Structure 1
Amino acid sequence: MSSPWIEGLRSVALEVPDLAQAESFYTETWRLEVAARGNGALCLRGSGSDAFLLALHQGGGVPRIRHVTLRARSAEALAAVAAQVEPGGGRILSPVQPLDEEAGGTGFGFRDPHGRIFQVVHGDARREPSASTRDRPLRLTHVVLNSHAVDETQAFLSKVLGFTLADRTVAIAFMNCNSDHHTLAVGVSDNDALNHIAFLMPDGDAVMRGGGRMKDAGFPIQWGPGRHGPGNNLFNYFIDPFGVVIEYTAEVEQVDERYRPRGPEDWKWPPGRVDQWGISPPPGPTLKEAQRRVLFVPS
């Protein structure tokens, strides 16, 4: 169950109203590190090998998402994806070219038929993983994007990026490109906003310690602790200071060609439950509203 072209998720770029406040939150509380800064932008890395996980840009009064960055398996794979975009119904925003950003490499940008913006890169810089990973995000594990037309979005991700369907519930299509159960997921919605960004923690203890740290800093758990059905991952969901939904997760299910996708009939919970454990109440209106508020910048 792997894409022939896409290796995985590298980073997400956001616009935020206050870059200094964002730096304080994402370094002191969320526990990322500054990788680079300048020209109204800030790159933040985790403890893994990616040069950065978040690129934060000074924006206006509301947060917006600039793009989701995926890493291609090779230069040939990068070219293959670029060649698929327009036949698949998307639009190239920038051609394949050397990238002037912290991680360098070669890449291009495109917009899908509903306005979501992606960047695909190859040859970007890696770094030695940190010796200290305790309670710190390692990397991004998935991004969930809303869609008013889930079947169309699923078809586009399959045709252009080579993603396959891992599982489908009544609310989400989980899309796979590597050994992680899902890397992109498409949420049923009436808009095409960012739903949430998931950060992989070293283990379940780190997910819980992170939840306590966030609570102490005035950011309560919005949903969790729990264990999802599709993906089998542990989770705690939060809302950052600007309204972006972020998740600490761990123990993401690892899959291969033997995994068989299941549908909505296979993912039904007993009354009152929305995850395997049933400890925490379902997501409330505050989280649900935040999950449809952060829109892509116009392209």
Structure 2
Amino acid sequence: MSSPWIQGLRSVALEVPDLAQAEAFYTGTWRLEVAHRGDSVLYLRGTGGDGHLLALHQGTEVPRIRQVTLRARSREALDAVAARVVAAGGTLLAPPHELTRDPAGGVGLKFRDPHGRIFQVVHGDSRQPEGPAVKDRPIRLTHVVLNSHAVDETQVFLQQALGFRLVDRTGIMAFMNCDRDHHTIAIGISDNDALNHIAFLMPDFESVMRGGGRMKDAGFPIQWGPGRHGPGNNLFNYFIDPFGVVIEYTAEVEQIDDGYEAHGPEHWKWPPGRVDQWGISAAPGAALKDAQRRIFFATNP
């Protein structure tokens, strides 16, 4: 493990303009399950142990991201993060407290980073029994990619506040690690601070491919893929949901330890015409690139 405080990514909260439409898409097409219903909010889970992966809130016409929720290694880790967030230049929005409004419960804190991104860190939240993976259904979230107009500053903040480490950097992205998954947060090098995409872990190659076919049949074509990334070595298919949020089916994410050797942009280069290891798919098109810069963090979640 690299971070002494953060175990991994638990969930992402979004505001959507039509909660009923969101439920139909994310249960019927994306294949999550309803974990809990609240007042104008819906919590959806995968087949893994997390109580929920997505919290979908009824919002206005403009979809937004409310927060990214990470899981702490211990209750003591929450206090350490609270102190380090402030020291690193972030703003503590809520100190460690009982999460009575979250159906998964536990203790958590909330903070805003120097560029307006909102994170929650939780410990002791309820888990569901984790059985065998189910074909063609998401297990958990594996990573979230957040754009940054100041990637070096964002990288330093994640290192100082949360104990992440840089494991790889390409010409377009910095990959940040906290545990076994190659990256849990990646920073997209950009001129904005939008949500780039959310990645859902599938059981295997077959599930990533069948998911691509199912999404295509439902009117949501693959925007990029199928392919295999360089950093992380993971399989991918990218899509745009009904509200413009970029989501990814992925599998076979590289598992690393503290001995992993980091590489820079000079290492992660492909032959002309390729943008991944396989070279089957074309580069991401304008629709995907546009969607990856449209979903911003809410200012008052």
Q: TM-score range by the shorter chain?
A: over 0.9
Residue 70 of structure 2: aligned partner: 70
The equivalences for 1:146-161 within 5 A come to 146-161=147-162
Deviations 1:231-279 (A, max 9, x none): 0000000000000000000000010122110000000110010000000
Residue 204 of structure 1: aligned partner: 205
Deviations 1:40-95 (A, max 9, x none): 00000000000000000000001100000000000111110011111100001112
SS of equivalent residue, structure 2 residue 87: coil
Seen in structure 2, the aligned counterparts of structure 1 residues 130 and 216 have a Cα distance that, compared at 3 Å, is farther
Letter in 2 for 1:89: G
For residues 86 and 133 of structure 2, what CA distance do their matches in structure 1 show?
Answer: 43
For residues 244 and 55 of structure 2, what CA distance do their matches in structure 1 show?
Answer: 16
Residue 194 of structure 1: aligned partner: 195
Letter in 1 for 2:89: G
Q: Confirm or deny: 8 A CA contact 2:220 2:241 kept in the other structure.
A: yes
Letter in 2 for 1:287: L
Seen in structure 2, the aligned counterparts of structure 1 residues 89 and 200 have a Cα distance that, compared at 3 Å, is same
What is the CA distance between 1:130 and its match in structure 2? 4.5
Deviations 1:181-209 (A, max 9, x none): 00000001111010000000000100000
For residues 131 and 55 of structure 2, what CA distance do their matches in structure 1 show?
Answer: 19
Letter in 1 for 2:99: L
> Gaps spanning 5+ residues in structure 1: where?
none
For residues 258 and 205 of structure 1, what CA distance do their matches in structure 2 show?
Answer: 31
Deviations 1:94-147 (A, max 9, x none): 121000211000001000000000000000001102456110000000000000
Residue 28 of structure 2: aligned partner: 28
For residues 88 and 2 of structure 2, what CA distance do their matches in structure 1 show?
Answer: 19
SS of equivalent residue, structure 1 residue 24: helix
TM-score in terms of structure 1 length:
0.99
SS of equivalent residue, structure 1 residue 82: helix
Residue 216 of structure 2: aligned partner: 215
The equivalences for 1:237-276 within 5 A come to 237-276=238-277
For residues 272 and 64 of structure 2, what CA distance do their matches in structure 1 show?
Answer: 36
Residue 81 of structure 1: aligned partner: 81
Check if 1:167 corresponds to 2:168. yes
> Gaps spanning 5+ residues in structure 2: where?
none
Residue 8 of structure 2: aligned partner: 8
SS of equivalent residue, structure 2 residue 272: coil
In the comparison of the two structures, how many residue pairs are matched? 299
Letter in 1 for 2:61: G
Letter in 1 for 2:234: N
Letter in 1 for 2:121: V
Residue 41 of structure 2: aligned partner: 41
Residue 228 of structure 1: aligned partner: 229
Q: Confirm or deny: 8 A CA contact 2:85 2:91 kept in the other structure.
A: yes
Residue 133 of structure 1: aligned partner: 134
Letter in 1 for 2:218: A
Residue 58 of structure 2: aligned partner: 58
4+ residue runs over 4 A deviation: none
Residue 94 of structure 1: aligned partner: 94
Letter in 2 for 1:296: F
Letter in 1 for 2:187: V
Deviations 1:10-58 (A, max 9, x none): 0000000000000000000000000001210000000000000000000
For residues 248 and 167 of structure 1, what CA distance do their matches in structure 2 show?
Answer: 21
For residues 227 and 265 of structure 2, what CA distance do their matches in structure 1 show?
Answer: 20
For residues 106 and 256 of structure 1, what CA distance do their matches in structure 2 show?
Answer: 28
- Alignment RMSD: 0.8
TM-score in terms of structure 2 length:
0.98
